[in-house]
């Protein structure tokens, strides 16, 4: 696609990887992050450092923002809006509160600029490999304008509707992932305490029709501990809370989601908030008083 003047605010594990790919594609990219080392890692690749979000806005046709919380995103958007070019687009990659997205979007639209929400799945590995899936909400014409750009840094983009729907879709996707992970660990703990070999159990579940994302794939890493943090348990807890907020506003009962959120609260109480989400295995072990160990796949 044609080279563009782009901006990026928030250069964490995911944002930094996406920004590096945009630089590699030859775009004129301005970047900002409170962590100077993150900025330097991008300027060494050819990006231009910006002192604040307002400086990014002055230089960019399209600006990406990737930050941890709705409050930070709203603050960045307000600063960006003070200097954004007419018809400029802010693409919010944050897993956000739908109500915040709608409120910020209305403010941006009044000033003749555009907000597109595009929370994503795939994590830092997906960002590096251009294998992200974007879950988009916003004006259809703005989405079509930005679709080619998203396509260069991801593998798929789904437009779910107006602002707010993208984050509803992302939060529900997270609910599926969190729930299947936790219920699988509960079941495996019951098996381990019953003396059942976990490898045999995993193979039985896969053949017997009770499989899910965790049991089909992620369970293979159950023995690994102390991984570098890609997606922190604190962020998972934030996302679970946002989902419960949305469900409460809509009047949708979500008792299972509430129980899974409590498991994430326990993880935080154990001091695991900064650890990678995969460390939730140890939470299940502590609660059940059992060690979960998966033997190697059987030959043949």
Q: Are 62 and 88 in contact (CB under 8 A)?
A: yes
How far apart are alpha carbons 98 and 104 in whole angstroms? Answer: 10
Query: Which of 87, 154, 151 has the alpha carbon at shortest distance from 120?
Result: 154
Beta bridge partners of 91: 64, 116
How far apart are alpha carbons 282 and 270 in whole angstroms? Answer: 10
Residue of 3, 45, 128, 170 marked active site:
170
> Is 170 one of the catalytic residues?
yes
Which residues belong to the active site? 170
């Amino acid at each position: 696609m044609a080279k563009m003047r782009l901006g990026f605010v928030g250069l964490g594990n995911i944002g930094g990887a996406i920004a590096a790919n945009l630089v590699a594609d030859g775009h004129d990219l301005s970047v900002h992050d409170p962590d100077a080392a993150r900025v330097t890692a991008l300027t060494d690749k050819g990006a231009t450092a910006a002192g604040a979000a307002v400086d990014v806005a002055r230089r960019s046709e399209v600006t990406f923002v990737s930050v941890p919380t709705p409050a930070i995103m709203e603050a960045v958007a307000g600063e960006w809006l003070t200097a954004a070019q007419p018809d400029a687009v802010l693409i919010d990659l944050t897993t956000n509160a739908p109500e915040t997205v709608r409120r910020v979007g209305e403010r941006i639209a009044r000033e003749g600029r555009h907000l597109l929400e595009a929370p994503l799945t795939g994590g830092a590995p997906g960002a590096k490999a251009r294998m992200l899936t974007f879950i988009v909400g916003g004006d259809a014409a703005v989405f079509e304008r930005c679709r080619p750009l998203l396509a260069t840094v991801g593998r798929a983009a789904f437009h779910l509707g107006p602002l707010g729907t993208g984050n509803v879709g992302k939060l529900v996707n997270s609910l599926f992932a969190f729930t299947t992970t936790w219920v699988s660990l509960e079941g495996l703990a019951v098996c381990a305490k019953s003396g059942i070999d976990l490898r045999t159990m995993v193979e039985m579940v896969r053949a017997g029709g009770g499989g899910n994302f965790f049991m089909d794939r992620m369970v293979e890493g159950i023995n690994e501990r102390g991984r570098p943090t890609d997606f922190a348990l604190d962020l998972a807890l934030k996302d679970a809370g946002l989902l419960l907020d949305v469900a409460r506003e809509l009047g949708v009962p979500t008792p299972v989601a509430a129980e899974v959120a409590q498991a994430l609260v326990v993880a935080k109480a154990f001091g695991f908030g900064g650890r990678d989400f995969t460390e939730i295995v140890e939470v299940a072990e502590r609660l059940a008083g059992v060690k979960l160990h998966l033997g190697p796949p059987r030959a043949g």
